[in-house]
Structure 1
């Protein structure tokens, strides 16, 4: 028998990024900064070429401007997510929460408003990639694959969610946020704690990101699921079970806590 030659060292595959941005100066600045991180960057300057570039490159993550010639970034996001889910960080020139919610609704995972710090952009992208890459490895044989809370079912293995039997199409970030809240139902988690646990970064300027994602969850799963605790954060309320009775956690991950002063 020949001796085992042992593991062979293969060159690391660089992270692939597609930047869809119609302002050449901004696109070039982003590309240069990400290239300095050792990432492989492709640039597209309009909606149509952005979709084509994503389909050709199969990137690990997409940086996508909302305002683009041709069709806008929201339509780009819809088309690329329809083909194959990919993490998307959207860029917008308007600090308008409605635009942000629409972006999250079509499949974006995070967003930043212009002007932005290149350092923060890199940090956000790295955190997004960490979340996506750790998800398949997060399965623990000792933890039930599905978490059932009333009529809400969260399947950790397939990363699918249903409410009252109807599937909810969540982005990776929305799923991670929901799971984080569901693992401690009834417990109030601060915005800063959620930023650290879900987004892997803590910055007071990022609390609106949490708020926008909570609103997106409410739109997709119902307004009664996540409770706001003013000045503190959010808690997941266990919904009624399929038979209309008071729900509860059935996978041993906890039970609903008491009611704290809250607002819808």
Structure 2
């Protein structure tokens, strides 16, 4: 595999130096930008596989940097946020960030998040799933994209068309956190969500059909204050 290059956009030198050190231990190449302008300039002049982006950046803030990057690329963006930045966190995910991590954080957790995002982007494909793939399998659940069939524990589960599209979107983007607005935009193909309960109702119905315990879901998990994500162990035997 070719060299993996990561852009770290963080104005705190202590944090950025540690991130760079830990990423380079994983044999990733890492560049550091100390403000939003420099981050955009570096991204324009180089080829990166992932961006670690702090929300509180001088000159151009992280939200605007995220918006501009997402207009030109689909590389994974991992946001760094403070605990009191929930509204910015939701906004960042809504305009295209792939995941977030809250300060203070452990470097091990950041590296784990980076690896998960890179795996989805580089191995499963830039759209979250290889184009030729028609079957997505996790331990205990499989989704046949061609036949529109779902099996849980070997038993076929009957889903409505919208429930299937929702599950298909989730399993195609494992570990990625989505807001209700993002899910509505992608699954219902609309930017305007008329009823805020639409997504929650469909997720509740989907959980009842695929989860052993819908109140304690194994796959479709709630990320409190943000939205939802799909978590599952890939079935490597398939």
- Aligned equivalents of 1:135, 1:56: Cα separation in 2: 26
TM-score with structure 1 length normalisation?
Answer: 0.58
> How many residue pairs end up in the alignment?
178
2:15 maps to what in 1?
Answer: 26
Residues of 1 paired with 2:167 and 2:107: CA distance? 25
SS in 1 for 2:198: coil
Cα distance in 2 for residues equivalent to 1:176 and 1:117: 31
Q: Give distance in 2, aligned partners of 1:151 and 1:83.
A: 29
- Distance in 2 (CA, whole Å) between partners of 1:153 and 1:68 is 40
* Change in CA separation of 1:150 and 1:21 when aligned onto 2, cut-off 3 Å: same
Judging changes above 3 Å, is the alpha-carbon distance between structure 1 residues 176 and 67 closer, same or farther for their aligned structure 2 residues? farther
Q: Report whether the alignment pairs 1:224 with 2:198.
A: yes
Q: Is the 8 A contact 2:3 2:29 kept in 1?
A: yes
Partner of 1:91: 80
Task: Let me know the Cα RMSD of the aligned residues.
Answer: 3.2
Structure 1 unaligned runs (5+)?
1-11, 155-174, 182-196, 200-208, 236-264
TM-score, scaled relative to structure 2: 0.64
Partners of 2:62 and 2:6 lie apart in 1 by 16
Shift of 1:178: 2.6
Q: Which string of whole-angstrom CA distances, capped at 9 and with x for unpartnered residues, describes residues 177-236 of structure 1?
A: 73429xxxxxxxxxxxxxxx922xxxxxxxxx85xx25344553454233347732487x
Residue 149 of structure 1: how far off its partner (Å): 5.5
Aligned partner (choices 52, 57, 62) of residue 46 of structure 2:
57
Moved more, 222-231 or 33-42: 222-231
Structure with larger Rg: 1
